[in-house]
Amino acid sequence: MFERSDADDASYPRIDLNNKDAFGLDKGQRYKFGSYAREVGKTVSLTTQVSATTIFTMTSTRSPVFSVRYSFYDPVSNALRMGVLNVVGQDTDDSSGTLVYTDEYSENAVTGLVMSAEQSGTTISVKYTATDAGTFKYTVEYLG
């Protein structure tokens, strides 16, 4: 009952608060306050990578601008890092503009983690390289 595919969600959101002062929980994946949305936190294990490797992807149809709040823990050196990766996607028709991102962070020792973002069509990939393996926890937030 009321079941829809994820493809339908890109065109017609499961929950649309119409920028009103309201609260909603969307299928347990994100919560919304008016036009602000924040996805539930996730944890992934990062391995040592010399080439940029995708952590997750996001479609620019959901939001072409978003922030990734994250923490990284290297259990070998006990290095910790807390940061925010801000991403602004390019126009989806590729007619102008380019994807830009900034990574602002603090760490108690050098972690060797480098964050980046790339876009192909409407898919934005958040990527990393790392000199050491560790635990990466993150949440994505956006206005839309």
Q: Are 128 and 48 in contact (CB under 8 A)?
A: no
Where do the domains of the chain lie, and which CATH numbers do they carry?
1-38 (no CATH), 41-143 (2.60.40.1680)
pTM of the model: 0.79
Give the whole-number percent of the chain exceeding pLDDT 70: 76
Burial class of 7 by CB neighbour count within 10 A (0 to 12, 13 to 18, 19+)? exposed
pLDDT-derived band at 98, boundaries 50, 70, 90: confident
- Give 37-65 pLDDT, tens digit per residue: 888 899 999 999 999 999 999 988 888 89
For residue 27, pLDDT over 90 is answered with no
Strand partners, 23: 33
